[in-house]
Amino acid sequence: MAEHLSQSELDYPFKLLEYFNGFRVSKVIFSACELGVFDLLLGAPGPLSARHVAHELRTSVDGMERLLDALVGMEVLEVEPAEGTGEGEDSSDVANLYLARGSSKSLHHMMTYQNQTVYPLWTHLGDAVREGRNQNEKTFGLQPEDPFQAVYRSDDEEMLKFMGLMDSSWILDGHDIATAFDLSCFQKIVDLGGCTGALAREMAKAYPSSSVSVLDLPTVVDAAKKYFSRENDDVVFHSGDFFLGDVPPADLYVLARIVHDWPEEKCLSLLRKLHDTCRPGGGVLLVEAMLLETRRGPLMAQIFSLNMLVQMEGRERPPSGYTRLLNDAGFHDVQVCRTGKSYDAILAVR
Ligand code: SAM
Ligand code: ASE
């Protein structure tokens, strides 16, 4: 192990200390987000003092001062001269674009979900590693047949939070995924487990002469139509269960963040069904955060793989893992496209 650490790390473990603080650093952002700090600053005509922010958001002045100071330390906020009061806090462009609730590229749902659902699960990472299974029972008192019964536990609120998280990923990566390969030859595209339809809309935008539809569980489709629909929506929704019964016929099946949720056998039986349903020349597009062939990175994909252990039943894979699954299901000509962002694309044809 020691040879992987630089000499300066041995003199003083800068990198390790930074990792130790990772949880608290992200908590600063999540808490500021939930308190409404970024929305207030975005809406304000100029920089605001900590006292003013505390007053508006009904928090302690002392606590808010320390929180804002930390956000300045993280370069999420900037200190500007403010009228009358001397100095004040102002949002950086990045905070206005990604952290404020109202912005078109807001990652608010991603932060809420990490903070309220992912972090509690990760409290039990050690147990997940020891036991080799997810921690839904310990964390939420649920051990259902299927991990999505835990994801969508109880009320609509949990489901909407998860759907918000899924939706927000495609704000960042949707266009790169839709255009990773030229998919214009596929007339009918079905996004299986397509959730809110966010990626499907990117596909419809990139391939205007193709028809794009989404299949998801009935309750998810109802919520997608009710809370995530667009004016002049060009995406059609179908209710169903991709493990039970038939899937709608298509030239291209998209499986975005589906394979990584499930154990190998379930993935294989789903892929075999798609192989049997699609015509020759038809294909399947997998969208996942792909590990390097050596599994030595990227760190984000390694962390996602642990997240699948803690919350789901699946894992992240290197290219060879997807190639083998696809070949075993009967697909050929597997092509891999790394986008350089969080998610990558894998295309195979029948
Ligand atoms: N593809 C979307 C994306 O990447 O943003 C959502 C991925 S999410 C991790 C998995 C999706 O599969 C959820 O929308 C979930 O409701 C759906 N799903 C889970 N089990 C399903 C089943 N048996 N049949 C159809 N959809 C299912
Ligand atoms: C899934 C994706 C996610 C299932 C559960 C999930 C994510 C969080 N929980 O398919 C998004 C990826 N983010 C992380 C932290 O893994």
Selected catalytic residue, list 52, 109, 260, 275: 260
pLDDT (0 to 100) of residue 248? 96
C-beta 288 within 6 A of ligand 2: no
Distance 207 CA to ligand 2 centre (A): 27
* Of 79, 80, 66, nearest in space to 27 by CA: 66
Residue with tokens 């891999």: 336
Q: What is the pLDDT of residue 345?
A: 98
**Tokens 């487990």 sit on residue:** 193
What domains does the chain contain, in order, with CATH numbers? Answer: 8-98 (1.10.10.10), 174-349 (3.40.50.150)
Q: How far does residue 216's CA lie from ligand 1's centre (Å)?
A: 6
Residue 299, phi then psi, degrees to nearest 5: -55, -40
Tally of residues, the chain: 350
Residue 147 Cα to ligand 2 midpoint, Å, equals: 12
Mark the ranges of the chain whose per-residue pLDDT is less than 70.
1-7, 85
CB 330 within 8 A of CB 350: yes
DSSP code, position 48: B
Contact between residue 251 and residue 188 where contact means Cβ atoms under 8 Å apart: yes
With a 6 Å cutoff on the Cβ, whether 243 touches ligand 1 is: yes
DSSP state of 97: I
pLDDT at 157: 87
Which pLDDT score is estimated for 30?
Answer: 98
Ligand 2, atom nearest to 307 Cα: 16
Does the C-beta of 106 come closer than 6 Å to ligand 2? no
Q: What ligand has the least distance to the C-alpha of 117? A: 2
User: What confidence score (pLDDT) does residue 85 get?
Assistant: 64
Known catalytic residue at 275: no
In the chain, the amino acid numbered 245 is G
Cβ 319 vs Cβ 223: under 8 Å: no
Alpha helices in 209-318 (DSSP H): 218-227, 264-277, 299-311
pLDDT at 181: 98
Question: Residue 3's pLDDT is what?
Answer: 53
Give the per-residue pLDDT at 5: 54
C-alpha to C-alpha distance for 348 and 327, rounded to whole angstroms: 9
117-120, Cβ contacts within 8 angstroms, sequence gap of 24 or more: 117/158, 117/161, 117/162, 118/307, 118/311, 119/23
CA 183, CA 239: separation in Å to the nearest integer?
24
Query: Is 56 within 8 Å of 89 (Cβ atoms)?
Result: no
